[in-house]
Amino acid sequence: MNGKARNAAMTPAMSKLRGRANGKVCDAAQAVALIGDGQAVASTGVIGWLTPDALLAALAERYRTGGTPRDLTFYFPCATGDAVGIRGMDHVAVKGLMRRIVSGSFINPRHPETGARPALTELIQNDLVEAYTWPMGATMHWLREVARRGPGYLTRVGLGTYADPRHGGGKFTRLATDELVELVELGGREYLWYPTWPLDVGLIRAGSADADGNLAFEDQPLLSSALAIAMAVKACGGTVIAQVSRLTGPGERPAREVRVPGALVDRVVVVPDAPTGTGVRDDPGYLGHVPGAVARVPRLPAGPDKVIARRVAREVRKGETSIFGFGASSDAVLVMAEDGALDGESLDDYLFTTEHGSFGGIVMSGWQFSANYSPRALLDGPAQFDFIDGGGCPFAALAFAQLDALGRVNVSRFGAANPGAGGFVDIAHGATRLVFAGTMTTDGLRADCTAGRLRILEEGRVTKFVPRVDHVTYRLGEGVAAGQSALVVTERAVFDVTADGLVLTEVAPGVDVERDVLAHIGFPVRRAPGVTLMDASLFRP
């Protein structure tokens, strides 16, 4: 923690509250001193949102200066931090400090200035840590089982994917040898079984705390796993440490605003100058409805991603709950805003969400993804995945990194990247209409998309349509055979997904089908009887 934050935590007003709180209020160094060797530490965080960055930084500093605590297990339901300004899980990605990590996803992008991969990526790729990743529905729901002292989490989501023990059981490194996921049979059907194990420490982020440790989230755009982690850790007899922006007086907040009771909180660390999220400080647009939201959101630059987003947007229906995943697919709502589809009261005709529980408003992209702009409602992480797994999101738009001849989709591990799947598996499993969005090739692709046509200036060095995916994140072919409908949208072609494989249905104006499309697919595809041109209006700034 920096000096300003530490001093702020010890103001006279806070000192008065500290006495009543029986020592709950302390600085970050004092709080993380409670963590012992070999313990299991769970943390909130969704990219930069809800990340207890001061606590993770203090824990790393304690290890750096004193060599303790050692050999910790870290449990992150979602990728925590951006590995740059809000380092999150990258703070603790240190050999010796981190022995094992279990996470719903990992932060992977290169540093914008140095080009370096995050420290956690280096640990995983060099096999220096026991790394596991589970679908995010499992990481959220597993906490509920720990909280109720249940034996484990049972689900059919993820069968046949990387989470299935027959396909790795979520192991991401050779050091990861324990079987944390089991295949079981119940009533003649197969399930994945995630046995519970104890959590010793919970690190959570909230907005404010009172003297008794009651936590509210008035300046946070997400709830995510905060309550779930606190309940799970306390059920194990562990210690919960909360990072907040401010302390409040007795009765200052209505009880309905308190989302984590003080009975679940052992220590409170006040960090008044912490950012809300990556590049965001105190923007009310992320906390609730704001007038003129459409005019406030960013505009996408012209290029292949914008073409894809415009084509994906044409699959979105009014009145249907639409969920968007991280990556190219999340740009669709921003393009709808830019192109006037959400003007006036039109935004209220749609219901957009993500796996992180924000309902209504505008889905953001990049580092601001997860928290919608001008949202109308908010669920916490376990409840949102109840909704997703229960079929609450009939339409889903998702990105893809690889797609193969058998209709298997990969977003979890490819090339030098190991991001995990996040909510992808649950979202794909629960939807009835799917769109998978991404460029035909990657790593160097440049194209002119501004004059009603597409012109490839430089082809990408990596093709995404491969004979066999590196990692199975979802078995789309089986989903289609079971009744799902699916499209694959790229900047130069659109495909229907059938039980017999891909069918080319649309091509971009200016594209040579053989040279620019089929030559970059590593398996046979059929052509529809009447392949049409993609609408020229997609190809503009």
Ramachandran angles phi, psi of 105, nearest 5°: -165, 165
Among 355, 458, 478, 491, the one annotated catalytic: 355
pLDDT tens readout for residues 86-139: 999 999 999 999 999 999 999 877 777 787 889 999 999 999 999 999 999 999
Asked if the structure places residue 164 within a domain, the reply is: no
SS3 119: helix
Taking CA atoms, 297 is separated from 134, 155, 505, in Å, by 32, 38, 33
411 pLDDT exceeds 90? yes
* Alpha-carbon span 245 to 57, nearest angstrom: 16
Confidence check: pLDDT of 80 > 60: yes
Residue 343 lies in a domain: yes
Instruction: Output the CA–CA distances (angstroms, integers) from residue 308 to 331, 421, 454, 523, in the order listed.
Output: 9, 21, 12, 22
The reply to whether 315 belongs to the active site is no
State residue 22's pLDDT score: 55
Residue 357, in any domain of the structure: yes
Residues 6+ apart with CB under 8 A from 311: 489, 494, 534, 538
349, pLDDT greater than 60: yes
Q: Is 385 helix (H, G, I), strand (E, B) or coil?
A: helix
Residue 328 banded pLDDT, cuts 50, 70, 90:
confident
Report the alpha-carbon distance of residue 83 to residue 88 in Å, rounded.
Answer: 6
Is 349 a domain residue?
yes
Residue 408 lies in a domain: yes
> Per the domain annotation, does 22 fall within a domain?
no
Q: Considering the chain, what is the average pLDDT of its residues?
A: 94
For the cut 90, the answer to whether the pLDDT of residue 163 exceeds it is yes
SS (H, E, C) 25-41: ECCHHHHHCCCCCCCEE
Rounded mean pLDDT, 462-486: 97
This model's pTM is above 0.85: yes
Q: Give me the pLDDT at residue 416, please.
A: 83
Q: How many domains, the chain? A: 1
Q: What is the CATH number of the domain that holds 440?
A: 3.40.1080.10
Residue 13: pLDDT band by 50, 70, 90 thresholds? very low
Q: Which helix (H) or strand (E) holds 480?
A: helix 476-481
220 lies in a domain? no
The reply to whether 423 falls in a domain is yes
Domain of residue 445 covers 290-538
